[in-house]
Amino acid sequence: MTDPASIAEEVARSSYGKLLAFLAARTRDVAGAEDALSEAFATALATWPNQGVPSNPRAWLLTVARRKRLDTIRRAYTSRQAEPHLALLAEELTMEPAADLPDERLALMFVCAHPAIDPSARAPLMLQTVLGFDAAAIASAFLTAPATMGQRLVRAKARIKLAGIPFRVPDRAEVPERLEFVLDAIYAAFTAGWTDPAGTEPRRRNLSDEAIWLGRLIVSLLPEDPEALGLLALMLYADARRAARRTQDGEYIPLDKQDIAAWDTDLIEQAEALLLQASSCGAVGRFQLEAAIQSAHVVRRRTGHPDWQAIVGLYDALWAITGSPVVAINRAVALAEVAGAAAGLAALEGLSGDARLAEYQPYWAARAGLLVRTGALTEASAAYERAIGLETDPAVRRLLWQRSSQIRQGPLPC
Amino acid sequence: MKYMLLIHVSEAEMAALSETAATEQMAAYGAYTQAMIQAGVMITGDRLRPASTATTVRVAGGKSQVLDGPYAETKEQLGGFYIVDVPDLDAALSWAERCPGASHGAIEVRPVWAM
């Protein structure tokens, strides 16, 4: 690859976050660092084709970006105001990065997911600063108007600078609490990419890959953190089944009907290894448990059926941590596999007081499925109706229709 | 960076404290202030008299309006403040967490905008 444009693109892809983190770490001026960096890339594209690609493109970009930033500061401030900035830049210059740029991306991720940053801005900010996504792409992935997303990002960056959010990796004692925000933001990016299961929007699909990349980065920087390992494992299990979730016509295939041959064995093996590593760290958390549930599902590769007993136990543990009604629904469905449909249904009934469930499709679909199995067909039909009315994905809606119409056609094999 | 820690607490709750509890509270603030001084972060800080002693002034159309009472009637009131000089927001937040007011009210942490 000698084409200057593709070399610039390659450097942008592999080093954007590193360069930005390094440029912003001392002044906390993320927006200023972004501007300088984008000017440096523009200069590269203008000069490399004629003058040739420098031997160390990253160092070249860094030098140019620093020069641009210095110019901006000199222009923008009176000499007295500029002093503290220039002092910080001078400090940065003494840490001559030469070949090995110190990796401050982890600190940057902790900045993006700092508790003082608006939670809805955390994942977008991470995608923009660590991966160099533009605001428009991020807005489309999070189904937000570009102007709204742009504003949210600008506000968050102003906050980092003015409120003085430090570029640092928290102390060991603070890590679990603060890391949770980082992991949540990565998972939010992953699910934003995942909610387009048909893969019709390449931009969003790409987001899941980028989230996995961030997950790998976190694991490489914190290899002994069980939740970081758990999150990466969870994302890989989901990704491994990507091809199996749809028929060629785009019809939705539920997990229990998926063709095992379409699962990505290599990704599953990676996920299993990560989970094993996590379990040796001696602390159990949400992502680890969710990944373990996935593992108990893919056991089907060897035994022909999921390990439902284990799944019920894992959901119990997850419920104890999260208290989430979504977890309780999944637990009820798993329980039905172990103790029968009536037991699962009874567990679901226990949740019916939760007002949030009235609008939650999976609750009604789960209820309908279990009602069919207990023979309460009229009630089942009504529950399917509710589920269909609440679903947004046309393919899932079609599957629910199919199941609902089977009720009318006669008894189902259980 | 300099930050102001604004201590918002319920005056009604403070007034209802038993004598022992009120003494304890004062001692806690004393210890907290001492800790800040010894760490070399404190610039200044004080208690404020209750909001009922506040007077609010506004000038509209060249005429000044003076109202008896605080700027905003709220459930919790600004009861005191500190100004600290610390490296960053995390350091300011950890001092805010230690403030006795944090456990029964809320501490607002604001960066000082130097003039």
Domain harbouring A365, CATH code: 1.25.40.10
pLDDT digits (tens, 9 = 90+) for A224-263: 999 999 999 999 999 999 888 888 887 888 888 899 999 9
Radius of gyration of chain B (CA): 16
A27, A98: one domain = yes
Sheet holding B42-47, edge to edge: B42-47, B77-85, B2-9, B106-111
Interface test with B, best of A161, A162, A167 (most B CBs within 10 A): A162
Last residue of a domain, one of A259, A285, A306: A306
Residues pairing with A246 in the sheet:
A252
Cβ contact A165–B88 (<8 Å): yes
Interface residues from chain B to A (CB-CB < 8 Å): 1, 3, 87-93, 111
Q: Is residue A332 in some structural domain?
A: yes
Handedness of CA B86, B90, B96, B98 (dihedral sign): negative
Q: Give chain A positions within 8 Å (CB) of B93.
A: 116
Same domain, yes or no: A240 and A293: yes
Measured between CB atoms, does A165 come within 8 Å of chain B? yes
| Whole-angstrom distance, CA of residue A52 vs CA of residue A8 | 12
Give the whole-angstrom CA distance, residue A251 versus residue A393: 10
Cβ(B14)–Cβ(B28) below 8 Å: no
CATH class of B2-111: alpha beta
Tell me the average pLDDT across B77-99. 96
Tally of domains in chain A: 4
Contacts of A190 (CB under 8 A, 6+ apart): A207, A208, A211, A212, A215, A235, A238
> B12-64 pLDDT, tens per residue?
999 999 999 999 999 999 999 999 999 999 999 999 999 999 999 999 999 99
- Assess A158–B contact: CB distance below 8 Å, yes or no: no
* Angstrom distance (rounded) from CA B73 to CA A111: 35
Sign (positive or negative) of CA dihedral A216, A291, A286, A393: positive
**A163: chain B residues, CB-CB within 8 Å:** 89, 111
Q: Is residue A243 part of a domain?
A: yes
- Per-residue pLDDT, averaged over A154-167, amounts to 95
pLDDT at A196: 58
Same domain assignment for residues A275 and A327:
no
The pair of structure tokens assigned to A206 is 């790409």
Say how far apart CA B111 and CA B57 lie, in whole Å.
25
- Taking an 8 Å cut-off on Cβ atoms, the answer to whether A163 and B111 are in contact is yes
Residues of B in contact with A164 (CB under 8 A): 1, 3, 88-89, 92, 111
CA distance A28 to A160: 6
Contact A276, A218 (CB under 8 A): no
Q: How far is CA A321 from CA A75, A327, A363, in A?
A: 53, 10, 20
**A394 at the B interface (CB within 8 A)?**
no
Q: Which two tokens stand for residue A399?
A: 């599957």
Residue A116 touches partner B, C-beta closer than 8 Å: yes
Q: Residues A394, A356: one domain? A: yes
CA end-to-end span of chain A: 57
Which residue on chain A is closest to B114 by alpha carbon?
A81
Kindly tell me if the per-residue pLDDT of A132 is higher than 60.
Answer: yes
| Beta-bridge partners for B60 | B63
Q: How far apart are CA B6 and CA B107, in angstroms?
A: 5
Q: From A116, which residue of chain B is nearest by alpha-carbon distance?
A: B89
Cβ atoms of A59 and A97 within 8 Å: the answer is yes
Selection from A288, A154, A308, A156 nearest residue A233 by Cα: A288
**Where does a domain end: A103, A137, A160?**
A103
ipTM of the complex: 0.79
Neighbours of A375 (CB within 10 A): 11
Same domain, A95 and A113: no
Residues above pLDDT 90, as percent of chain A: 50
Same domain, A96 and A108: no
A190 lies in the same domain as A236: no
Contacts A114 to B, Cβ<8 Å: 89
Note whether A405 and A375 are within 8 A (CB). no
**Is A136 contained in some domain?**
yes
Instruction: Say if A204 falls within a structural domain.
Output: no
- CB spacing of A163 vs B89 below 8 angstroms: yes
pLDDT at residue A198 above 60?
Answer: no
For residue A381, give its domain range.
313-414
Instruction: Give A26→chain B minimum CA distance, Å.
Output: 11
Q: Is residue A214 part of a domain?
A: no
